[in-house]
Homo-oligomer: A and B are copies of this chain.
């Protein structure tokens, strides 16, 4: 008998019919003799509907109250799924984040899990119940409802799997697994049978959006085997684990991220520590900087460019104003019509020329590269967002056709 954690996203439980479909997947797993803990997100557009309700009243509401509001979404979906499982003749019990033992920090709307205390979950499993847990939510040490931020349900699932030493954590989505590129955009995109945590992490960070990044980090840390698969088909998915046993492919995927903006501070005086101060300023406001490029400099001045998430762009520009106003920088350029295209692959480490092959593909497709960034297992380029899809196809063909 195994303990299996299954996570279903909002689109998998969007209406009564889909909830019944999820119930049948869950009860099939249970009927095979497994203990099953299910983690569910809010139904379809519930979260967006609730946010709209809040914005109608007060767009600047406190984060504590936003969390209180949003947490109602999973409360609805977990109870409906429990009812659907009851309908199929099985025993189910739904648990809210706090009932399931999710202790989090008190950073409302983006809390982090401090500890999962699964006593109640264990008690219900001992009673032979299928346990349904509200994803995305927890409780702070002050006894307030918190949420983990978008995509947090993946993290909830992995955290339970870790706390309970589950044998497998299945993440059901609306795609059949992890692909070498977005299958809706690239016709020859291939489903991967296996991928390593590190490759998956790079892909998640790079906008592949199959799995929430924090969840993969946690799976890696606790060595939880993940399976990404579809709730709509019976096809097997992609296994995410430490070492993939399949023959190493050169790269495992091409990813596109359009949620990115480039900021360039031009003509910064070449004084030691200025770049450091610039980025501490951003990190103090929790603005994550991704690609950074610094020109070599001339005439005692240099240019510093970096990318941030689009929704933090304005704020970052405002913070940089000081450099033009007080420290003699010449001007600030801002561009949010950019896209980051990346290739990821553990095979890269041992194969030279991967980056060159990528640049060649872009050259062939007449795509201009604005910035380049590399790590051990990935190469990213920043390009004009209008070229993004063309670039992904060209790179994918170069490596996979």
Contacts and interface: CB of A to CB of B under 8 A. Distances in A.
A360 B57 CA distance: 55
A94 B68 contact: yes
A75 B71 contact: yes
A251 interface: no
The contact size tier of chain A is 35 or more
Given A16-B53, A20-B57, A86 B69 contact: no
A210 interface: no
A50 interface: yes
Contacts of A61: 82-83, 86-87
B71 A83 contact: no
B68 A54 contact: no
B143 A57 contact: no
Most buried by B among A56, A68, A82: A68
Given A64-B93, A143-B120, A54 B69 contact: no
Given A19-B57, A56-B16, A82 B68 contact: yes
A24 to B, nearest CB: 13
A60 B86 CA distance: 9
A374 B4 CA distance: 63
Interface of A: 16, 19-20, 50, 53-54, 56-58, 60-62, 64-66, 68-69, 71-73, 75-76, 78-80, 82-84, 86-87, 92-94, 96, 99, 120, 143-145
